[in-house]
Structure 1
């Protein structure tokens, strides 16, 4: 069985980038490309079958009678998505910067195994000795790192791109997994509010229980919730150099799954110190 994704409105270059990236990145937490088809403006990507669909559907679009993700499953998905990003950042030469980490680009296979997809905007990282590369940024709403968030009238901005941009986006996804809220929500008055803006005062006041997805009905470890929010909070720091590496995010989420909560703070603290800033 396979899954087919239409890319009718994708640029030819982006379509080729995704084919090349997925053909080059074998990892259990990155979706496997089974084939592709291009005919004029119509383009198809054929993936391995991801039986459970998009993470977005389980967090935001699920029907009222659909089974909700429990706490352990949520942390499993977060940890595996983090492992996929760690592979891109640390196990590849040159580094791969995904640039579009969000709940629509995380697919769920059998047993809720998380698999990264959506590589059409991916970019190879900087050569040795460099910290960033230049890139054109397009609006990506609440997942976009603040260093790229100033959007001009034509909705593009030239700026600096690094792996810490992906870390920020992952932090937003982790908050979505924890809270069940969307990255951007529209109020009744039509105004947009971001998940980050909603979360920051609750984190500051240590109101972690108010951040848990209500459908969990308290079925989660209180310390585990607090530490998961801590991980997300460090990922979405405004300054890139204060964000952890994905390797330390993976370590921290693994500790949370094992109940080793004291080790989480230690791992994140060392990550920022070792960044050299």
Structure 2
């Protein structure tokens, strides 16, 4: 099979192989306790967050260092996002939102390093993050508002005949939230890395190498923006869902 592929043109590459979860030690089957490449890079992402927010701000200097400046800017941006969308009442949940943003941002960014692995390209990872948000805001909505939380699905400003239909549509869209929330992040990260892998494979062809290298540089620069934008989008949607839990009703 491999020989047949080489005879076709000599250019054989598998851009999706980079997303395979593999055990760190050996080649045996993967169980729930098996250390994997995904686990390693998620742990490194968590350590990077700790390094920035804990060790980077430990000095608390009046004239901040670079790490302290980055940590303070990140803190201020996410805090303002939470306050602007959810109001003052939502600030008590700021630590959770901040943790989500930083983890996703560092997981996305570290995946751009050579020989790295992207945990946020795995739907299993992004689905866990999305369903955590979904269950959290749903439980919070009922705890805070009781049965009034169901007002989120009842469009009282619409004509009476349309309200039951709109309620069904609102209910379906509500339960679709974690699906779209997770697929958006995983799909964008996976697509970007797959495109870079394809262009990198064409760099082996002498005639296409200059164009391929320029394409890789362009896509990589775009991915630097995408890793930040996707973390921001995931976080801002979390804030919107949190606002619905705190202030339901149309």
**Greater fraction helix:** 2
Which has more strand, going by share of residues?
A: 1
Tell me the TM-score normalized by structure 2. 0.30
Higher RCO, 1 or 2 (CA under 8 Å, sep at least 6)?
2
Higher radius of gyration, 1 or 2: 2
Give the structure-1-normalised TM-score: 0.28
